[in-house]
Structure 1
Amino acid sequence: MTRVERAIVIGGGIGGLTAAVALHQQGVRVTVLERAGSLEPVGAAISLSPNALRGLDVVGLGDGIRALAAWQGDGGLRAPGGRWLARTSAAAAAERFGGPLVLLHRATLVDHLAAALPSGAVRTAAAARLLDPGAVGGSGRPARVAVPGGELEADLVVAADGIRSAVRRALFPGHPGPVYSGFTTWRVVIPLPGVDFASHETWGRGRIWGTHPLKDGRVYAYAAAVAPAGEHAPDDERAELLRLYGDWHTPVPEVLAAARPEDVLRHDVHHIAEPLPALHHGRVAVLGDAAHGMPPTLGQGGNQAVEDAITLAGHLDDLPGYTAARLPRTTVITRRAVQVARVNLMTGRVGTAVRDHALVALSRAAPGLFLRGFDGIADWRPPQGTAHSSEGGSGQGRMLADTAGEG
């Protein structure tokens, strides 16, 4: 592939902006095309685990994000009545994986990434359509993208346009695309003064709930439940949460009492069950949810997008190498996230009882076992030679089993 001097990033989410920053720092002229009228992200919070933070180290943003870590002390898994099923701590997670896990509002991360780009690099209200993926070798023609009012050419196009990616469909028209994961999610970010609680996730029958503090003093709460695709509450989603979770342990009732109907976001969950044949075609690279949308049950959607972006920046002259580095890993993690969803959202009474008993027994017999589910995920490091900032950072973070709604 010829030297990349001009790049277009389609999609101004976390993966797209991280790619834009990494490319800009390599001297590439980058334009980010975002369909929405602003970069304000849809969604509530995101958990960045040590793998993504090490990726952000490469572009000099890791330590600034680590400073936002809010989880201190113990946490873990609970049953709806409040019984602890498994315990862990911020210190144990940070020690095992070489750094904290940071929960922050998506808008905060977007602001940090956008601030690292030159003025004018991001165009909002700019719907983009891939006209030609271009070619490498031979004619070496550039890729072409249609934008409002004309066309743009580039040596590289980064498709970061989400799980419903139009670019993915254009590149791989025979691919079946995303499938419904079988459950829906709700998310809330609100102030909750005067309520003390340990950071936790709670598993019921076909339902989960999580409550976690943010650095700015607010609380991030999320829920997931097995439900038909496209279903919505007959009144409002806060009322639906009250029906499903109103009798669960504290602080769940307190969160629901403090939330307003307009504070609650609801989204069905989809994932890409069949891996793409490649993560590139011509001069186009696909990353993030567009490439491997996954259930949020490992909290890795955004984290894998960061990994994609950093890895892509190291393979600008070798897109097949980008595919080789990322496709096997993201395929494994997507399948693992699907498997975890089957466990924490199981609906059978007997199976749920067996699951909970096993969690308690394993937690008592081998406390460190709780964190092993993230071995091979949270311990990822950028390709050799890419990192230039401090690695690992300081502070503590959260390493619970899942965080819903983090695509």
Structure 2
Amino acid sequence: MRARHVVVAGGGIGGLTAAVALRRHGWRVTVCERAAALTGVGAGIVLAPNALRALASAGLDPGRWAGDVLPGQVGLRTPDGTWLRRSDDDELSTRYGLSARAVHRGFLIDTLAAALPAGVVHLGVSVTGVDDAGDAVAVRTSAGDLRADVVLAADGARSALRGRLFPRHPGLRHAGEAGWRAVLPGADPPVRQAVETWGRGERFGVVPLADGRVYLYATAVSGPGARPVDHHAELTRRFGAWHSPIPELLDRLDRLDPRDPDPAGVLHHDFHELAAPLPRLHAGRVALLGDAAHAMTPNLGQGGCQAVEDAVVAAHLLASADDVPTALAAYTKARHRRTTLIARRSRRVGELARLSHPLAAPLRNLAVRATPRALSLRALDTVFGWQPPSAPAPSPATPAPVDVEEQR
């Protein structure tokens, strides 16, 4: 029997997870990544319990490679160091059966890519269009045309394929904020708390990564296109008087060695999200996943986690499907409502966090502190408590990778 062929547009977290999951079920896979290298420079990612379950269901056991759980207290503080809300690992582990792990995005992408054989991922190859003929898809790429049974568009927030499938959709909108990201080498003493601090219209986050490095991020209310002349000076101006260890970390940030394994320094970017949910996440034999399907603000830390969920659900539904369009319709049904609600919740958290009025911000803090701990945890149940679908047994066949050139 001919192994069915999937073309994945995009070699990010969602695209690579889908590739691994579908190969496990006997599909031939071609991943087309327009960049010249697979990268995740300058940022960490927190793998929440829902993402860890999804990765495990795809045969990727995070317990073996994702390092230790996030250490110590995790929660929210004010600039003077007062705790607004916090929880510890035992509490989260008891509730969800798993505790979050934090890794560098580059490490996660490398781990996913290493689970694929040579010849599956094609770098420097972009998918420029698709022609769905009903019984197959002609995939237009910069290296030639391919023929596939299904296309998974994981080509990011500015997805070209989303624009082709839904040309009347308004696309992205600016979310009213901009952010900074950086990764610091480990230090002695090590950072042992994952904390986000809320000020007036500004936030600062510190996350210790599994490899000993420290992921920093910060946000501020900003219009589109605004760029500080000196990022370190701007961060110091905004956050240099906040509680420890923020000033110390900013001082280390100014002394980043360009020879460091992650030499990106400080990254700065505007926040964008889809202006409205898509009407569906598929069209015929083409499905969108990750940011291409539901670009959201980072306020819940669920962008990458939802991409992983998308990937394993799509793979599960395609694994034994006799009819691809029917399977992708089931994918929309399984994912559309959940991702729409999470994107909406993330937007609301952002609106709350960026309050800057001198009366509104203290009232917000008071409300957060007054919220019962059990209620705060229950609010996360629908996000962290997600369970992946029961997967069919993996196929014993291991199809050969597809040569992009062979189908020209």
Q: Same fold (TM over 0.5)?
A: yes
Aligned equivalent of 2:167: 173
1:67: how far off? 4.4
Q: Distance in 1 between matches of 2:15 and 2:81?
A: 40
What is the aligned counterpart of 1:182 among 153, 176, 179?
Answer: 176
> Considering only aligned residues, what root-mean-square deviation do their CA atoms show, in Å?
1.9
Aligned equivalent of 2:227: 232
Instruction: Please state if 1:283 is matched with 2:288.
Output: no
Q: Distance in 1 between matches of 2:300 and 2:119?
A: 35
What is the aligned counterpart of 1:151 among 145, 155, 164?
Answer: 145
Q: AA paired with 1:200?
A: V
**Closer/same/farther in 2, CA of residues 97 and 134 from structure 1, 3 Å limit:** farther
Task: Name the SS of the counterpart of 1:326 in structure 2.
Answer: helix
Over residues 33-63 of structure 1, what are the superposed CA-to-partner deviations in whole Å (9 max), with x where a residue is unaligned?
0000001124411111111111111122133
Aligned equivalent of 2:71: 72
Q: Which protein, 1 or 2, shows the higher relative CO under an 8 Å CA cutoff with sep ≥ 6?
A: 1
Q: Distance in 1 between matches of 2:58 and 2:274?
A: 29
Aligned equivalent of 2:399: none
**Closer/same/farther in 2, CA of residues 238 and 134 from structure 1, 3 Å limit:** farther
Q: Distance in 1 between matches of 2:347 and 2:184?
A: 29
Q: Distance in 2 between matches of 1:4 and 1:279?
A: 25
Q: Distance in 2 between matches of 1:387 and 1:182?
A: 45
Q: Distance in 2 between matches of 1:41 and 1:74?
A: 27
Pairing 1:124-273 to 2, within 5 Å after superposition: 124-135=123-134, 140=135, 142-195=136-189, 196=191, 198-234=193-229, 236-260=230-254, 263-273=265-275
What is the aligned counterpart of 1:332 among 334, 341, 356?
Answer: 341
1:361: how far off? 2.4
1:374: how far off? 1.2
1:98: how far off? 1.6
Instruction: Please state if 1:382 is matched with 2:388.
Output: yes
1:134: how far off? 3.5
Gaps of 5+ in 1: 389-407
**Closer/same/farther in 2, CA of residues 287 and 43 from structure 1, 3 Å limit:** farther
Instruction: Point out the more displaced range, 164-173 or 96-105.
Output: 96-105
Over residues 13-51 of structure 1, what are the superposed CA-to-partner deviations in whole Å (9 max), with x where a residue is unaligned?
000000001111111000000000001124411111111
Aligned equivalent of 1:347: 356
- Contact 1:203/1:344 (<8 A) preserved: yes
Over residues 314-373 of structure 1, what are the superposed CA-to-partner deviations in whole Å (9 max), with x where a residue is unaligned?
2223111000000011111111110110111111111111111122223xxx33333233
Q: AA paired with 1:209?
A: F
- Contact 2:204/2:218 (<8 A) preserved: yes
Aligned equivalent of 2:89: 90
- Contact 1:93/1:100 (<8 A) preserved: yes
**Closer/same/farther in 2, CA of residues 157 and 350 from structure 1, 3 Å limit:** same
- Contact 2:184/2:253 (<8 A) preserved: yes
Task: Name the SS of the counterpart of 1:228 in structure 2.
Answer: coil
1:291: how far off? 0.2
Q: Distance in 1 between matches of 2:252 and 2:13?
A: 29
- Contact 1:66/1:100 (<8 A) preserved: no
Over residues 183-240 of structure 1, what are the superposed CA-to-partner deviations in whole Å (9 max), with x where a residue is unaligned?
0111111025234553211000101111121121111111111111111012x21111
Q: Distance in 1 between matches of 2:246 and 2:225?
A: 25
Q: Distance in 2 between matches of 1:387 and 1:53?
A: 19
- Contact 1:192/1:258 (<8 A) preserved: no
Number of aligned residue pairs = 378
Instruction: Please state if 1:373 is matched with 2:379.
Output: yes
- Contact 2:125/2:143 (<8 A) preserved: no
Instruction: Point out the more displaced range, 101-110 or 38-47.
Output: 38-47
1:269: how far off? 0.7
- Contact 2:69/2:89 (<8 A) preserved: no
Q: Distance in 2 between matches of 1:47 and 1:219?
A: 12
Q: Distance in 1 between matches of 2:265 and 2:170?
A: 34
- Contact 1:197/1:251 (<8 A) preserved: no
Q: Distance in 2 between matches of 1:315 and 1:193?
A: 45
Instruction: Point out the more displaced range, 209-218 or 14-23.
Output: 209-218
- Contact 1:17/1:113 (<8 A) preserved: yes
Instruction: Please state if 1:36 is matched with 2:31.
Output: no
Q: Distance in 2 between matches of 1:67 and 1:291?
A: 26
Aligned equivalent of 1:61: 60
**Closer/same/farther in 2, CA of residues 165 and 259 from structure 1, 3 Å limit:** same
Q: AA paired with 2:376?
A: F
Q: Distance in 1 between matches of 2:188 and 2:95?
A: 32
Percent identical across equivalent pairs?
47
Q: Distance in 2 between matches of 1:283 and 1:3?
A: 18
Q: Distance in 1 between matches of 2:252 and 2:393?
A: 43
- Contact 2:201/2:355 (<8 A) preserved: yes
Q: Distance in 2 between matches of 1:134 and 1:238?
A: 52
Instruction: Point out the more displaced range, 372-381 or 157-166.
Output: 372-381
Q: Distance in 2 between matches of 1:387 and 1:63?
A: 19
Q: Distance in 2 between matches of 1:255 and 1:103?
A: 18
Task: Name the SS of the counterpart of 1:298 in structure 2.
Answer: coil
